[in-house]
Amino acid sequence: MKTVFNDTDRNDLYERLGGLTLERKPLWGRMTCGQMLAHLTDGVRMTLGELAIKPKRGPLRFGPIRHAVIHWLPFPKGAPTAPELLVRHAEDSAVEIGELKSAMERMAGRAGEGTWEEHPAFGRMTEHDWGVLVYRHIDHHLRQFGA
């Protein structure tokens, strides 16, 4: 399973990010490329505890469901997300991509350090779960924009 904690997997995402511009149109959904890039950056910032997100209850906190969603099931197009992750819009793709890469590097640099922030929907997760989820989330949105 690919993870942002693996240098090769992370570099693959970086390469795909490099082809994006704010003018890129989505293959599905309503987000602009600028919204998507800011959404991804803020999602990684949430993982690092740099952005507070209001927790919510639901079945995703149940271990087997959480594991299936993080590791096996395809991400649905148009799934709801935390409103805090939809606030910003990137104004410069190169700057936002740089911010996203920096956040991903900070995350990778924390590998093996112990506990991680609680996910607002999934609850407590292992480091491995976080690495896979962040990779799959970024991959999902890159596919949304044909990258």
Average pLDDT, the chain: 95
Mean pLDDT of 24-46: 96
- For the cut 90, the answer to whether the pLDDT of residue 115 exceeds it is no
Mean pLDDT of 94-111: 97
Residue (of 147, 125, 143) closest to 66 by Cα position: 125
Q: Which domains does the chain have, with CATH numbers?
A: 7-144 (1.20.120)
Q: Write down the pLDDT at residue 36.
A: 97
Phi and psi torsions of 119, nearest 5°: -75, 140
Bigger pLDDT: 1 vs 79: 1
Q: How far is CA 59 from CA 3, 16, 74, in A?
A: 24, 33, 17
pLDDT digits (tens, 9 = 90+) for 18-28: 999 999 999 99
- For the cut 90, the answer to whether the pLDDT of residue 80 exceeds it is no
CA gap 23, 144 in Å, rounded = 14
pTM of the model: 0.95
% pLDDT > 90, the chain: 88
Q: Write down the pLDDT at residue 114.
A: 78
Q: Write down the pLDDT at residue 132.
A: 98
pLDDT digits (tens, 9 = 90+) for 47-77: 999 999 999 999 998 999 999 999 999 998 9
Q: Work out the pLDDT band at 78, boundaries 50, 70, 90.
A: confident
- For the cut 90, the answer to whether the pLDDT of residue 99 exceeds it is yes
Count, in order, helices (H) and strands (E) of the chain: 5, 0
